[in-house]
Amino acid sequence: MAFFTDVRGTSYEKDSSTLRLRKPLDKPLVLVFAWLQATNKHLGRIAEFYLEQGFEVLTVYITPWQILWPVHGSQKVAEDVVKFLSNNDFPEGLVLHGFSVGGYFWGECLVQLHAHPTGRRTLEKIVGQIWDSVTHLEEIPIGVPPAMFPRKPKLQNMLRNYLTYHMKLFHEAATQYYQKSTYMYHYEPVQCPALVLVSKSDPIGAEAPNKRLCGIWESKGVRTTFKCWDKSPHVGHFFKHRDEYVQLLLTHLKLLNLPMDSCKAKL
């Protein structure tokens, strides 16, 4: 499965059945939930920021097929994530950084964690979270087509029509799970500071639903910082507004009292 990838190619020895690391991490870990069709080149630039601050970085990928058929797709990957989080200790801290459909995918993980005997204890290992351009349930038909076919508008329209049809026809096999994931993501959040990053010009990870999300999290006791730029592309805020983005990350990370290295923040 597309899980547990280090963009630098570093190998972490682990037990294949439990995903427990042979050697515990001696640095804080950032677990990145990638956007669809994310490349190592782009993720590598984000990872480099964290590496310069003294973090380890691991990335979780899911595919469009795994979203369309969650029982045999995204939920199977979520099982591995839950197993990894449950069977490892993170003495230096654990931070989530999710992009686009990463919000949906983390909701699938939350569904499983809340059903897991030690799920709540596992969630307490997470000390901070960052969510960039999160795509919500109603935006799936909007967000997936351009990720799949970025320069082919006719194919985007065909896929958009199919996804709308898919969500109506396959409620039992797919849509009900999107709804459960969305509920958990909104109403059962991790109880640690959150940073939410969006743009007014992004129809895929739109401002309004992300602003509503922040309000819900605040009502649940989650300290939430919301940043909305006037103009930048979906999952492109880091590249369009790099200096400000980095400063927002540094400010947020310093709230978490992590053992960070001196801040270089030059990419």
Domain count of the fold of the chain: 1
Domain CATH code at residue 141: 3.40.50.1820
Which two tokens mark 253? 């990370």
Task: State how far the Cα of 198 lies from the Cα of 167, in Å rounded to an integer.
Answer: 25
How much is the pLDDT for 220? 97
What's the Cα-to-Cα distance from 61 to each of 31, 101, 105, 168, 223, rounded to whole Å?
Answer: 11, 10, 10, 26, 27
Range of the domain at 67: 29-256
| Across 232-261, average pLDDT | 92
User: Predicted confidence band at 8 (pLDDT cuts at 50, 70, 90)?
Assistant: low
Q: Is the Cα torsion angle 86, 119, 102, 71 positive or negative in sign?
A: positive
Tell me the pTM.
0.91
Residue 262 lies in a domain: no
User: Predicted confidence band at 2 (pLDDT cuts at 50, 70, 90)?
Assistant: very low
Residue 267 lies in a domain: no
Residue 88 lies in a domain: yes
Q: What is the mean pLDDT of the chain?
A: 90
- pLDDT surpassing 50 at residue 21: yes
Task: State how far the Cα of 49 lies from the Cα of 42, in Å rounded to an integer.
Answer: 12
The CB-side HSE value for 105 (13 A sphere, CA atoms) comes to: 34
User: Predicted confidence band at 262 (pLDDT cuts at 50, 70, 90)?
Assistant: very low
Residue 7 lies in a domain: no
Residue with tokens 């989650």: 222
pLDDT in tens, 94-131: 999 999 999 999 999 999 999 999 999 999 999 999 99
Residue 160 lies in a domain: yes
pLDDT in tens, 134-147: 998 877 788 778 77
Task: State how far the Cα of 90 lies from the Cα of 24, in Å rounded to an integer.
Answer: 8
